[in-house]
């Protein structure tokens, strides 16, 4: 083995460059740490109030996934502290969608805010009978500041149009679990989802949709606290309680358009879900006609 430090350094550098190339090929486009860091707060304070796991937050929040666990006893609520409590307080203080947008955009407890280009809140007409919740912005959404404007958004628009719905015509209102793009389009962590969940619940409560559609596993995981994959969760209506709404919201989980772009064979299942949506909409809002 050579003892020449330059040679050792050269080999080390080559290995690092190969490792970097692999990460780039996997889609990494930012140099970040594993866990989000609150760059505005005191580190000691943050360490003293860890974010609870998503399952605990969903279980003890205002949501219940009645179809999955109709008789499930309510467990004692764990203390929710730190940034999640901050998010809950901010979200609860919003009386209008505009106030919610401002409070969410100003919320600095989620590190995704530091790497995203734009805050992506919603598109379509608030008050539309159908509200669709996706996962989080991709590259194009991050650039434009609007949800579902990239390739999966174009497919989503075509899917909705096939049952006579459109965000432009006020029949669908669209948002995401996360308003900030995760770097390199990686999956969001449970912590990131837990931090954004209070805003999503308040968003639904203020938009008051007649029907809710969850596109993909992330919103289903966030709102139902469910661990099953989307292929098992999709295709059935479930009632989702969102306080302070008096009535639970009929909610349908379905496949994400990005998944359909990668797996065109799954469009059959997606079509079945779209028909379920159209049928239920005809029942609850017969005036929303299909052309
Ligand atoms: N995928 C999503 O889930 N949401 C978007 O806004 C774009 C892509």
pLDDT averaged over every residue in the chain: 84
Q: Residue 198 above 90 pLDDT?
A: yes
- Helices (runs of H) and strands (runs of E) counted in the chain: 13, 6
Task: Tell me the CA–centroid distance for residue 134 and ligand 1, in Å.
Answer: 5
Answer yes or no: is pLDDT of 261 > 80.
yes
Q: What is the distance in A from the centroid of ligand 1 to the CA of 289?
A: 26
| 244 preceded by a cis bond (ω within 30 of 0) | yes
Q: Which of 117, 139, 141 to mutate to test the pocket of ligand 1 (most atoms within 8 A of CB)?
A: 141
How far apart are the two ends of the chain, measured CA to CA in Å? 76
Mean pLDDT score, 180-186 = 96
- Distance (Å) of CA 36 to CA 8, 46, 191, 229: 34, 11, 8, 25
Are 194 and 52 spatial neighbours (Cβ–Cβ below 8 Å)?
A: yes
Determine the residue of 112, 121, 139, 147 to mutate for testing ligand 1's pocket, defined as the one with the most ligand atoms within 8 A of the Cβ atom.
Answer: 147
Nearest atom (ligand 1) to Cα of 134: 3
Q: Is 138 in the pocket of ligand 1 (CB under 6 A)?
A: yes
Q: What's the pLDDT tens digit per position in 142-166?
A: 999 999 999 999 999 999 999 999 9
Structure tokens at 230: 């989307």
Q: Where are the domains of the chain?
A: 5-66, 83-284
Judge whether residue 183 has pLDDT over 60: yes
Identify the residue with better confidence: 261 or 68: 261
**Region of poorest pLDDT, from 12-21, 111-120, 133-142, 211-220:** 12-21
Contact call for residues 79 and 34 (beta carbons, < 8 A): no
Ligand 1 pocket, residue 147 CB under 6 Å:
yes
Give CA–CA dist 124/170, Å, rounded: 6
d(CA 243, CA 245): 5
Query: Whole-model pTM above 0.85?
Result: no
**Higher confidence at residue 251 or residue 60?**
251
CATH of 83-284, one of 3.30.1340.10, 3.40.470.10, 3.40.1790.10, 3.40.50.1110: 3.40.470.10
CA distance 108 to 110: 6
Q: What is the pLDDT of residue 227?
A: 85
Among 49-63, 153-167, 176-190, 243-257, whose mean pLDDT is lowest?
A: 49-63
């Amino acid at each position: 083995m050579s003892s020449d430090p330059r040679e050792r350094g050269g080999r080390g550098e080559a290995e690092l460059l190969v490792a970097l190339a692999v990460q780039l090929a996997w889609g990494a486009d930012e140099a970040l740490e594993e866990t989000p860091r609150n760059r505005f707060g005191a580190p000691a304070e943050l360490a003293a109030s860890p974010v609870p796991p998503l399952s605990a937050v969903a279980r003890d929040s205002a949501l219940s996934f009645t179809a999955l666990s109709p008789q499930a006893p309510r467990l004692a609520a764990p203390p929710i502290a730190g940034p999640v409590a901050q998010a809950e307080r901010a979200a609860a203080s919003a009386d209008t969608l505009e106030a919610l947008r401002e409070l969410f955009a100003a919320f600095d407890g989620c590190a995704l805010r530091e790497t995203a280009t734009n805050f992506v809140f919603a598109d379509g007409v608030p008050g539309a009978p159908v509200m669709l919740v996706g996962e989080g912005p991709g590259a194009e959404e991050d650039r434009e500041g609007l949800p579902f404007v990239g390739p999966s958004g174009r497919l989503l628009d075509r899917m909705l149009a096939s049952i006579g719905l459109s965000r432009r015509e006020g029949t669908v209102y669209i948002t995401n679990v996360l308003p900030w793009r995760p770097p390199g389009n990686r999956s969001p962590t449970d912590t990131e989802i837990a931090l954004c969940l209070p805003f999503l619940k308040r968003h639904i409560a203020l938009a008051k949709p007649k029907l809710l559609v969850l596109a993909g596993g992330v919103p289903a995981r966030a709102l139902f606290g469910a661990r099953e994959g989307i292929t098992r969760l999709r295709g059935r209506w479930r009632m989702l309680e969102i306080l302070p709404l008096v009535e639970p919201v009929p909610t349908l989980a379905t496949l994400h358009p990005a998944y359909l772009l990668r797996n065109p064979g799954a469009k059959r299942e997606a079509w079945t879900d779209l028909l379920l949506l159209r049928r239920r909409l005809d029942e609850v809002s017969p005036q929303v006609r299909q052309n």
